[in-house]
Structure 1
Amino acid sequence: MSRKLHFNLFLHDTGHHEASWRLPGSDPYANLSLAAHQRLARIAEDARFDSVFLADSPVLWSDPGRRPSGKLEPTLLLASLAATTSHIGLIATASTSYNEPYNLARRFASLDHLSGGRAGWNIVTTAGDAAARNFGLADQPLHRTRYERADEFLEVATKLWDSWTDDAIVADKQQGVHAQSDRVRRIDHRGAHFRVDGPLNVPRSPQAYPLLVQAGSSQDGKEFAARWAEAVFTAQPTLAESQAFYADLKRRVVAAGRDPGHVVILPGIVPVIGDTEAEARELDAELDRLIAPQYALRTLAQTLGVDAGTLHLDRPLPAQLPGEDRIEGAKSRRTLIVDWARRDNLTVRELIGRLGGGRGHRTFTGTPVQVADTIQHYFENGAADGFNIMPAVLPSGIEAFATKVVPILQERGLFRTEYEGTTLREHYELPRPANRLVLTGEPIR
């Protein structure tokens, strides 16, 4: 069977360009609308996308003056979308720093049952002191500490998902036995961060585990992905950087004793599509004109770990900036931005313009054929297994991609024309995890 692309639609209110909400046809309340999300999910499903994805954070992301910033709780929203779709995967972000393994394992197992095996969990450790203060902490935990907790969090969650065997429920009315008690086990986990007895109060779900997704590109993040991730969202602005990340992560997966074919790497791409190049560039220019630099400047300063007063719109970034080792927030994103600005000799204003469209992801402005050519080139040259599609404007951007780009890739034999399975793991061509309870015959330790 020939290798096929995988596509995830990153749902983001009016679009990934920060000024998209200011366009005349945008709905500035789309972030709070079930109908808007249902429409986007159906467009993606009709185009045979693997999945849709909702990002999330336990903190208000940005100045609410900048763009729509309110976020509905993602697993609740995806449960609603499960009722109006039939095949497309449903991926939600949830933090290991500000949740407990039992509650989160239960939530995702429930979503997997409700959707018939279409749930995915984007695992994040959550950067920033503001989030910490929402949970009674003075400061965020150290970067390394957050990943150590995340590692144990996954150990506990996977044990809980394994605490029921697939054949535990027999529903034997004659014998009066609903489930075989010896097939439901405590996990008795005792670790540095968690003490959890179990078992989970949700039986083993259709996929066994939700699809495990990860998005951090720091050294700690890549090591974590090599151990746990089955799909990886990444931000790489150039082909060479995408190729380097792809090769590095696949090597780490092998070193962790896993099959590199069982980890799907999906760089983000922000397509701005027009029937002609001129039409696409006109839309791109209009969006950039609508950026409000006063908000963008504060966000950039926070990411770089500097005072906003040190950044001047029509000058390059300051020569002296805190190194990645001094950043306890999003380390990889900080380095990506600085490297980008230095390499292309950008002023702060130019850098803000580029970040406004994709926040460091690959942006591409062009015709449907040009977008398809770019995707195919990455796919066939060791840079991607597919893409995290991040339309600059919604819903028009995904409509254009679904009706104009996808058919080109289907004609080239690079993307499915029909779903071949019903679960998210089947879409991504990934195995269903074996139950370690079955393999050991003993309670999980």
Structure 2
Amino acid sequence: MTRQLHLLVNITGVGNHPVAWTRSGLPPDAYVDPEHHLRVARTAERGALDGVFLADIPALHGDIGQGPGQGLEPSMLLTYLAAATERVGVVFTGSTTFNEAYNLARRVLSLDHASQGRAGWNAVATFFPEAARNFGLDTALDHDTRYRRAEEFIGLVHRLWDSWDDGALLADTGGARFADPDRIHSVDHTGEFLDVAGPLNLPRSPQGRPVQLQAGASPQGVALAGRFAEAVYTPLLDEEAARGYRAHLAGQARRHGRDISGIRLLPGLTPVIGSTEAEARARFAALEAGTREDARQIGRVARTLGLDPSTTDPEVPLSESQLAGPPPDRLPTGFFRTHAEIARRQGLSLAGLAARTIGGHRSVVGTPEQIADDITAWWSAGLVDGFTLLPDALPDGLDTFVDHVVPLLRARGVFRHTYTGTTLRDHLELPVPASSYEQKEAAAR
């Protein structure tokens, strides 16, 4: 099969830029309007994008005075989107820190059945203190504990998804046999964090399992991805970072008998598009102009590095002492690492960093041809398998991408003209995994 480019779109409310809501023309409650999200999902489907992706922080997080975040609970919203679309995948973010494995496994698999095999689960080890206090904890679990729990949690979810063999549902009307109990397995799991009997009360996924995504750039996050992930969403700000990350991920995959060819690396990318480069830069400038002085991109980058923007000269290259950390308490360590590494490697100032990133992910400001060139260059070099798009503003940012960038990618022969399969696993060119129980039985024979 000819290798192809893969594209997800992260529906970040009304756009990845924090003040996208001020220029969208949408009502202020659009971020909790299912119809707004459905319009974006249908645009993604019109462009034959692999899937729509919803992030989630189960708390009121960030500066709500500045703009909205992700409001609606993602599995509920994605069920609505799946019912009103036909092919586009639906990717749910669910925390391994603040969920029970049985309920989450059942929720994601229910979404997968409801969408006829279009669901994925993005596993995150949530650390936000605000979220911890919503779940009866005084503070967030420490980094190592969160990732030990995540490793146990994801492995258990996979066993629950496999608790029915492929042929367990008989539906034998003549013999009055609905299912074969001998092909339905309890998990009987007792671990450091979780105690689950199982099995699930619904059969295996139409695509074998929902697609497993992993978000994270810390060493523990990459190790977890190497063991479990089929697609990875992470911030990568330049080609050297992408090359290093891919090599690290490949090494972690080999530790678990896996090959990097079975993992789709889809880092975040915010395209800011104009019919000319000047128009694209004016679009970004207009977004920044609507932002409070202390919350503009330079300030956001400074806080990602744990620096005070009011006392840091934005034009002076950052020093080693400014880049040495520690990471800020309330931000992902992966964002700190990626920003510090590129600033150190390229001798960047805050202004230089701010020109490359929006919301922690890489941004490209330019014409459709420049955006297509950038995407094609990274993909052709084998650095990535595609991108998770975070449009600067929605819905028009994705409309422009689908109408003007996607045709260029198709003309270059790197992106599909139409869907060739029906499941998210088909779109991502991922094989159907064998049941873990069937693998165990085969090994024993």
Same fold at TM > 0.5: yes
1:346 pairs with 337, 344, 349, which one?
Answer: 349
Q: Which amino acid aligns with 2:334?
A: S
Counterpart for residue 62 of structure 2: 62
- Is 1:63–1:295's contact at 8 Å kept on the other side of the alignment? no
Q: Distance in 2 between matches of 1:321 and 1:399?
A: 38
Counterpart for residue 170 of structure 2: 170
Deviation string 1:123-150 (CA, Å, 9 cap, x unpaired) is 1001222221111111111111111100
Deviation for aligned residue 1:294: 3.5
- Is 1:54–1:91's contact at 8 Å kept on the other side of the alignment? yes
Counterpart for residue 146 of structure 2: 146
The answer to whether residue 12 in structure 2 is matched with residue 9 in structure 1 is no
State the number of aligned residues: 438
Q: Which amino acid aligns with 1:154?
A: I
Greater shift in the superposed pair: 58-67 or 325-334: 325-334
Counterpart for residue 93 of structure 2: 93
Question: Aligned ranges for residues 284-323 of structure 1 at < 5 Å?
Answer: 284-295=284-295, 303-304=304-305, 311-312=310-311, 314=313, 319=321, 323=325
- Is 2:165–2:183's contact at 8 Å kept on the other side of the alignment? yes
Greater shift in the superposed pair: 397-406 or 331-340: 331-340
Counterpart for residue 71 of structure 2: 71
Counterpart for residue 335 of structure 1: 337
Deviation string 1:38-66 (CA, Å, 9 cap, x unpaired) is 11111110111001100001122212111
Deviation string 1:335-388 (CA, Å, 9 cap, x unpaired) is 2233455545434xx479558x62221111111111111111001113211111
2:267 is paired with a residue whose SS is: strand
Counterpart for residue 44 of structure 1: 44
Question: Aligned ranges for residues 17-416 of structure 1 at < 5 Å?
Answer: 17-23=17-23, 25-69=25-69, 71-295=71-295, 303-304=304-305, 311-312=310-311, 314=313, 319=321, 323-324=325-326, 330-341=332-343, 343-347=346-350, 350=351, 354=355, 358-416=358-416
Deviation for aligned residue 1:100: 0.7
Greater shift in the superposed pair: 325-334 or 166-175: 325-334
Deviation string 1:2-33 (CA, Å, 9 cap, x unpaired) is 21100001111221111211116344322111
Deviation string 1:257-315 (CA, Å, 9 cap, x unpaired) is 10211100012111111111111111111112122244569976765557x6x853655
- Is 2:24–2:395's contact at 8 Å kept on the other side of the alignment? no
- Is 2:55–2:70's contact at 8 Å kept on the other side of the alignment? no
Q: Could you say if the C-alpha distance between residues 422 and 374 of structure 1 is closer, same or farther in structure 2, counting changes exceeding 3 Å? A: same
Greater shift in the superposed pair: 114-123 or 139-148: 139-148
- Is 1:14–1:27's contact at 8 Å kept on the other side of the alignment? no
Question: TM-score scaled to structure 2, two decimals?
Answer: 0.92
Q: Distance in 1 between matches of 2:245 and 2:362?
A: 14
Greater shift in the superposed pair: 25-34 or 295-304: 295-304
- Is 2:12–2:69's contact at 8 Å kept on the other side of the alignment? no
Q: Distance in 1 between matches of 2:68 and 2:171?
A: 48
Q: Which amino acid aligns with 1:412?
A: R
Q: Distance in 2 between matches of 1:201 and 1:231?
A: 27
What's the % identity of the aligned pairs?
Answer: 42
Counterpart for residue 436 of structure 1: 436
Greater shift in the superposed pair: 258-267 or 238-247: 238-247
Deviation string 1:148-204 (CA, Å, 9 cap, x unpaired) is 100000121111111111111112233322111111121111111111111111211
1:363 is paired with a residue whose SS is: strand
Q: Could you say if the C-alpha distance between residues 341 and 117 of structure 1 is closer, same or farther in structure 2, counting changes exceeding 3 Å? A: same
- Is 1:288–1:353's contact at 8 Å kept on the other side of the alignment? no
Q: Which amino acid aligns with 1:195?
A: D
1:270 is paired with a residue whose SS is: strand
Greater shift in the superposed pair: 385-394 or 104-113: 385-394
Deviation for aligned residue 1:225: 0.4
Q: Could you say if the C-alpha distance between residues 120 and 300 of structure 1 is closer, same or farther in structure 2, counting changes exceeding 3 Å? A: same
Q: Could you say if the C-alpha distance between residues 76 and 38 of structure 1 is closer, same or farther in structure 2, counting changes exceeding 3 Å? A: same
CA RMSD of aligned residues (A): 2.4
Q: Distance in 2 between matches of 1:417 and 1:147?
A: 39
Q: Distance in 1 between matches of 2:234 and 2:40?
A: 22
Deviation for aligned residue 1:255: 3.0
Q: Distance in 2 between matches of 1:141 and 1:128?
A: 9
Q: Distance in 2 between matches of 1:97 and 1:160?
A: 18
Q: Distance in 2 between matches of 1:260 and 1:365?
A: 30
1:9 is paired with a residue whose SS is: strand
Q: Could you say if the C-alpha distance between residues 43 and 277 of structure 1 is closer, same or farther in structure 2, counting changes exceeding 3 Å? A: same
1:246 is paired with a residue whose SS is: helix
Q: Distance in 2 between matches of 1:164 and 1:110?
A: 14
Greater shift in the superposed pair: 74-83 or 357-366: 357-366
